[in-house]
A and B are shown apart, each in its own frame.
Chain A
Amino acid sequence: MSAHRTAHRWLLVLPFVWQVGLAPLVNDVALRPFSLPFPMFWQMAGIVLASTVIALVYALDRHLGAHPDGDPDVEPRD
Chain B
Amino acid sequence: MALALCLAIVAGTLLGALYYGHRQARLRTMTEWAIAGRRFGSWIFWFVNAGEIYTTFAVLGISGYAWAYGAPAYLAFTSVSLASALGYWLMPRIWDAGRRHGLVTQADFFERHYGATWLAVFVGVAGIAALVVYVQIQLTALSLVFRLTFGPEVSALQATLAAAGVMLAFVYLAGLRSAAFAAGVKDVMMIVLVVALSVTVAAKVGASSMLDVFRLVQDQYPGIGAFPGLNPGAGLTNTWLVTAAINVALGTWIFPHMFQLIYSARDVRAIRRNAIWQPLYSLSYFFILLLGFAALLAGTAPPDGNPNAVLLQFVADRYPPWAMGLLAGTACLLALVPGSILLLAAASIFSRNVLLPLKRDLPDHALLWSSRIALIAFAAIAVWLTLTTNRSLVEIGLSAYAAIGMLAPGVFLAFLWPRATAVGIFAGMVAGYTALLLPAAEQLWSAFLPDWDRGLVAMGVNAAVAVLVSLCTAPHGLARADSARIS
| A interface, CB within 8 angstroms of B | 1, 9, 12-16, 19-21, 23-24, 27-28, 32, 34-40, 43-44, 46-51, 53-55, 57-58, 61, 69-71, 73-75
Contact = CB atoms under 8 A, between A and B. Distances in A.
Contact of B267 (A35, A44, A69): A69
28 contacts: A1-B487, A9-B89, A12-B88, A19-B78, A23-B238, A23-B242, A23-B245, A27-B238, A32-B214, A32-B218, A37-B218, A38-B226, A39-B74, A39-B227, A40-B74, A40-B225, A47-B279, A47-B283, A49-B81, A50-B81, A50-B85, A51-B276, A54-B84, A69-B268, A71-B268, A73-B93, A73-B487, A75-B485
B117 to A, nearest CB: 26
Nearest to B227: A27
A70 B89 CA distance: 14
B285 to A, nearest CB: 9
Interface string B68-84: 00010010011011101
A35 B81 contact: no
A47 B84 CA distance: 10
A22 to B, nearest CB: 10
A36 B226 CA distance: 11
Contact of B88 (A36, A49, A54): A54
A58 B226 CA distance: 34
A19 B92 contact: no
The 5 closest A-B pairs by CB, nearest first: A37-B225, A50-B81, A43-B77, A24-B238, A35-B211
Interface SS of A by simple majority: helix
A54 B281 CA distance: 14
Contacts of A70: 269
Contacts of A50: 81-82, 84-85, 279
Contacts of B225: 36-40
Contacts of A51: 81, 84, 276-277, 279-280
Contacts of B227: 24, 27, 39
A46 B224 CA distance: 20
Contacts of B88: 12, 54, 57-58
Contacts of A69: 267-269
Given A27-B226, A37-B224, A51-B81, A44 B242 contact: no
A55 to B, nearest CB: 5
User: Counting chain A CB atoms within 10 Å of each CB, which of B85, B93, B485 scores highest?
Assistant: B85
Contact of B212 (A23, A24, A35): A35
A50 B80 CA distance: 9
Interface string B81-109: 11011101100110110000000000000
Interface string B274-292: 0111011011001001000
Interface in B213-239: 214-215, 218, 224-227, 238-239
Contacts of A44: 77, 283, 286
A71 B88 CA distance: 11
A23 B75 CA distance: 11
A21 to B, nearest CB: 8
Given A36-B214, A55-B276, A71-B268, A19 B226 contact: no
B318 interface: no
A44 B280 CA distance: 9
B476 to A, nearest CB: 22
A50 B245 CA distance: 14
Nearest to A6: B487
B486 interface: yes
A36 B293 CA distance: 12
Interface in B172-206: none
Contact of A43 (B78, B218, B277, B487): B78
A46 B81 contact: yes
